[in-house]
Amino acid sequence: MLAFVQETAETGLAWYWYVIGFGGQAAFGSRFYIQWLASERARQSVVPKIFWHLSLIGSLLLLIYAIRITDPVFITGQATGFLVYSRNLYFIKISGQGTVVREKHGPTATTEAEKDTT
């Protein structure tokens, strides 16, 4: 713990910047567990909408942290991801999709609403 306090003093970062960075990493990383659990429940590959929301939140927090530590590689990666995740959520919104399900035997995708009508 002492090393962390000393490192914080050396970098000039206040403790809350680490909370933002770790919070972003936790949100971003948790999306894989959510996707995995949704796929296990459906017994096929599923990408729930919450996956994209967690991607967006995690990416935004990590982008803020990257800007604060002025890391251009980190900034570029998170800014690009943020745009992609935003665009995916936009497509979901305009299409009225909920959870995207990838069929077991083909490249087509259907929504939960479409599955209920078949």
Do the domain assignments include residue 83? yes
Domain of 37 in residue numbering reads as: 18-117
Do the domain assignments include residue 42? yes
Do the domain assignments include residue 68? yes
To the nearest whole number, what is the mean pLDDT of the chain? 83
Q: Name the 3-class secondary structure at 110.
A: strand
pTM: 0.73
Do the domain assignments include residue 101? yes
Query: pLDDT tens across 32-85, in order?
Result: 999 999 999 999 999 999 999 999 999 999 999 999 999 999 999 999 999 999
DSSP string, 28-79: HHHHHHHHHHHHHHHTS-EE-HHHHHHHHHHHHHHHHHHHHHT-HHHHHHHH
At residue 22 the predicted structure's pLDDT band, cuts being 50, 70 and 90, is: very high
